[in-house]
Amino acid sequence: MIELIIAPSSFRLSGDGRNSSHQVFSEIYFQLDGKFFPEKSWDDFVVVILNWWIGNILSIVNQKDGEVRCDFMDGPFFFKVSMFGVYFSICFVDNRSDNNKVVFQDKIHALDFMRILRKAANLVLRLAAEIKISHHDLTELKKNHKRIQCAINDYSTMAIQINAQENNPATAKQ
């Protein structure tokens, strides 16, 4: 099982917030059947990487094929996502020492992974609103949150239609 953990208590803006170069940070990491990636309590540029990841995932969902790489900003860690039908194959990679060590690999329904990213984006947007953070990357995350919600809706509708066709005797192959 794949979970994306964002610790609300760690959510913060770097620096004093008076200049445009500040960034939004938080703990963000995956919990994978008792393992953590990159590691438990990993701290990173949460808004930036969520924008990257959602954009990458939407690109392969729209193409219905392919592979994308989703990087963490701090450190040599990333995960690769390949789409096979309605599933993603996700490979979590530790690239310290340039050895591309696979830490964990799993298969997940594309819809489930998109929901994980939507939930993470929603949490980050709520936390930012609660502590009154305004940042240009948050504007982009709002757009990406809407885009992934639309993709989830479209994907769900398509899956329902396919399931209905498969279960309808009138459309079954004879």
- DSSP 3-state assignment of 96? helix
Mean pLDDT of 93-115: 93
Summary mean pLDDT of the chain: 89
Phi, psi of 116 (to 5 degrees): -60, -45
Q: Would you say residue 51 has pLDDT above 70? A: yes
Of 57-71, 98-112, 146-160, the poorest mean pLDDT is in 146-160
pLDDT for position 86: 87
- DSSP 3-state assignment of 72? coil
Provide the pLDDT confidence category of residue 99 given band limits of 50, 70 and 90: confident
The percentage of residues in the chain with a pLDDT greater than 90, rounded to a whole number, is 68
Of the candidates 80, 30, 77, 78, which has an alpha carbon nearest to the alpha carbon of residue 60? 80
- What is the DSSP secondary structure assignment for residue 59, as one 8-state letter? H
Burial zone of 122 (CB within 10 Å; 0-12 exposed, 13-18 middle, 19+ buried):
middle
Contact 42, 27 (CB under 8 A): yes
Total residue count of the chain as it appears in this document: 174
Q: 24: which 2 tokens?
A: 């939004």
Phi, psi of 44 (to 5 degrees): -155, 180
Q: 8: which 2 tokens?
A: 């609300």
Mean pLDDT of 78-105: 93
The 10s digit of each residue's pLDDT in 19-36 is 556 789 999 999 998 999
Of the candidates 147, 171, 173, which has an alpha carbon nearest to the alpha carbon of residue 55? 147
Mean pLDDT of 63-68: 90
- What is the DSSP secondary structure assignment for residue 90, as one 8-state letter? E
Q: Would you say residue 116 has pLDDT above 60? A: yes
Mean pLDDT of 88-110: 93
